[in-house]
Amino acid sequence: MLATEGPLLILAGAGSGKTTVLINRIANLLQFGSASDSDRLPDGADEQTLDTLLRGGEDAERAAVLDPVAPWRILAITFTNKAAGELKERLERMLGDAAGDIWACTFHSACVRMLRRDAEKLGFPSDFTIYDTSDSQSLAKKIIKDMDLDEKSFPARAVLAEISRAKDGGVTPSEYLRQAEALGDIRRIRYGRIYSEYMKRLFAAGAMDFDDLLFFTVKLLQEDGDVRSYWQRRFRYILIDEYQDTNRLQYHFAAILAQGSGNICVVGDDDQSIYKFRGATIENILSFEDQFKDCRVIRLEQNYRSTGQILDAANAVIRHNKGRKGKELWTKNGRGEAIELYVAENENDEAQYVASRIMSEYGRGANWRDHAVLYRMNAQSNQLEYAFKRNAIPYRIIGGTRFFDRAEVKDVLAYLCVISVPEDELRLTRIINNPPRGIGQKSVETAMELARRNNTSLFDILSRADSFPDLSRSAPRMRDFSRMIRSLREFSENNTPDLLLDELLDKTGYLRMLEEKNTVEDTTRAENVRELKTSILNYMNQSGDQTLAGYLADVALYTDLDNYDKDADSVVMMTIHSAKGLEFPTVFLVGMEETIFPGLRAIGEEEEMEEERRLCYVAITRAKKKLTLVSARQRMIFGRTNVNKVSRFVDEIPSELIDHKNIPKGYDYHERNRELGFEYRPAMPKSSFSFRPSAPKKPETQAAPRFALHDNVKHRAFGRGKIVKMTPMGGDYLIEIDFEQYGVKKLMLRAAAQVMTKLENE
């Protein structure tokens, strides 16, 4: 990279070698400074001397004629410590020990180093401590409790997410509270009071949380001229990787530092901006040329990873987005194989097809690790894991936990084990206070000791807790717990395991506990718990066995034999978000259906849909040689079976690039999508994509819905609200409800009606 002076935007397409570009740019700065970016010969040097120095020569000679940059004057920001470490290692291999003085670090670690020098100007000690996520949650919970607020209405994680959004916007507690009071928003006023108290207690403890590291660094740079001047002089060149993933505070941090020399280089790909849910804003990269005048733009469009047909598909899909700078990936790798589309009957057929394809490739000499299976949600891994286990295919999950090893799934399985065998002390101690029932650890330990003394089971002691003086305080709660387990045991004797799961989740309150927290993480956990019903139903259908003991024995094969080596040759499974930055010879992209990918929340929301399309672009460009798309005509997920439409993203790929497999005779998925209310136009340049209802057939359930537009309702998880929109969709309605405590939520009417009652309209 010979461009060194002024603002520079490098739009680096997928697989274009941006890390190599960054390393070479830094190496050029350390060796030659700005000499390569100037038409003027240095004073006292002729062209022959300059050519000799550019080819080598002593450091002192180069320094006298050229303008090499001191390593400590370069700030290179990456998003992970691992990436920063790799950057420094490669630079040290190229340039030697001098590269060790480069500030190659994450945003947060750079801020810590800067705050250690100047934190006292904010009233913090220079050795301030840093609260991690767990510390922050503990503090927030204590404040909520001290304020006598309902923890269900103000869950700590939701409160911290709101505080984080405020900090990212540069809003102080006093400003937040003032805005809330001006609006008369009671809920936001309470958030503001919690925010104020949270910051007071952090300050009193001499501590900052992760958001504070950026918040207070930017505050110092904005408000203290001496601090700002020092760091602007310190860093002559600023480089930022993955710029499309930056948030507002990170933009301000970079912009203020760059005001000194004006030399800021950012590398990113607007087409791979997929972390909006973490606070990233694509506007930072889209408006870079407006924010930094006289900016030069370099597009890296040659892809060194994928075949031509894969890149053509990626280009065709992403062209439909309006919010992008625009580029076309190309390659010298050749055309390669066509993209394959397989339309499965259901999720079991999907999983078995993927497994059989991988086994076939392995039989022809491929390695297991050459194959990756990507999906939109973790819950989709369930049937794939079953299929891989049945076929003895080694696999590992990256960026997630195996389905049966996820804490929430293990919790529910522990309940089922105790219902089956109450003497199972290991599982019993896992669930006795989960959800919290006021049975403390000390009481459990006392009961376990009593069981040992009396040569009986822990469950027996719980059932007779009032007979033991040492358990007098916890006895009523222990008896209630044992009664609940006995009741569920009786229910299981006359009902199938899938119905038992429904009864279990209702009586224990486990699912309600997750739903009421209303965070992204707990929403995912709740989805995994519901997905367990799919696992049970599939076992019953495939084995013909409808006993709880049979199911638990079957599951044990998938949980107790977890002895694979993560570094061994194995198929890789992961969400698309986790796959960013990786590549594989063969990629299977499963669940290519409307409401799965793109997800339900994105439908009808332009910004959300564009992010989903960028996610699809990321998924496609992970493949080097072979890409297979798989959709299911119907899919059971979260215990419900739905007839699915093939994803619009498949339709956006030109048909000549796709080799269609197992398309039923007479089954035109384009026509099927139109029948179900979705019409597509062929892929055309730029943003000609049109998604619009095309007079869909009236849903069968539309005849007499129990709920109507503007109805006041009460939902079991979200409380009171009002239906503000109803859209016919696939034999059901997509409804939008404005809840008093949680804002607008999108739900499918058929499912919502099971946990919702109609109130008198006011």
Structure tokens at 402: 């195996």
Cis peptide leading into 585, omega within 30 of 0? no
Answer yes or no: 157 catalytic. no
Dihedral sign computed on CA atoms, order 413, 415, 421, 425 = positive
- The position carrying tokens 């990170």 is 250
| Residue 294: CB atoms within 10 Å | 9
Cα 531 to Cα 400: distance, rounded to the nearest angstrom: 16
Answer yes or no: 241 catalytic. yes
Cα 735 to Cα 725: distance, rounded to the nearest angstrom: 6
| Residue 604: CB atoms within 10 Å | 16
- Per-residue CA distances from 96 to 60, 504, 760 (Å): 16, 63, 75
Residues 424, 428, 433, CA angle at the centre, nearest 5°? 180
Catalytic residue among 622, 624, 626, 648: 622
Strand partners, 129: 207
Answer yes or no: 148 catalytic. no
Structure tokens at 504: 């279990």
Radius of gyration of the chain, Cα coordinates, nearest whole angstrom: 29
Cα 30 to Cα 224: distance, rounded to the nearest angstrom: 30
Cα 163 to Cα 362: distance, rounded to the nearest angstrom: 50
DSSP conformation class of 679: B
Answer yes or no: 52 catalytic. no
Catalytic residue among 168, 209, 211, 241: 241
Q: Residue 651 contacts by C-beta under 8 Å, 6 or more apart in sequence? A: 669, 670, 673, 680
Q: Reduced to 3 states, what is the DSSP secondary structure of residue 246?
A: coil
Answer yes or no: 611 catalytic. no
| Residue 633: CB atoms within 10 Å | 19
Q: Residue 191 contacts by C-beta under 8 Å, 6 or more apart in sequence? A: 154, 159, 162, 163, 176, 180
- Per-residue CA distances from 90 to 3, 19, 20, 110 (Å): 21, 10, 9, 20
Q: Reduced to 3 states, what is the DSSP secondary structure of residue 399?
A: coil
Cα 93 to Cα 379: distance, rounded to the nearest angstrom: 42
Dihedral sign computed on CA atoms, order 453, 457, 459, 464 = negative
Cα 719 to Cα 42: distance, rounded to the nearest angstrom: 73
DSSP conformation class of 330: B
Q: Residue 318 contacts by C-beta under 8 Å, 6 or more apart in sequence? A: 271, 324, 613, 614, 617
Cα 195 to Cα 188: distance, rounded to the nearest angstrom: 10
DSSP conformation class of 306: S
DSSP conformation class of 70: P
Report how far Cα 747 is from the mean position of its chain's Cα atoms.
21
Q: By C-alpha distance, which of 397, 406, 346, 426 is closest to 555?
A: 406
Residues making up the chain, counted from first to last? 762
Q: By C-alpha distance, which of 652, 753, 608, 711 is closest to 274?
A: 608
Structure tokens at 544: 């013909």
For residue 756, the number of C-alpha atoms closer than 13 Å in the C-beta half-sphere is: 24
Cis peptide leading into 435, omega within 30 of 0? yes
- Answer yes or no: are the C-beta atoms of 242 and 284 closer than 8 Å: no
Catalytic residue among 37, 212, 242, 347: 242
HEC-encoded secondary structure of 316-345: HHHCCCCCCCCCCCECCCCCCCCEEEEEEC
Cis peptide leading into 598, omega within 30 of 0? yes
Catalytic residue among 4, 31, 250, 272: 272
Answer yes or no: 19 catalytic. yes
Cα 264 to Cα 257: distance, rounded to the nearest angstrom: 9
Catalytic residues: 18-19, 241-242, 272, 622
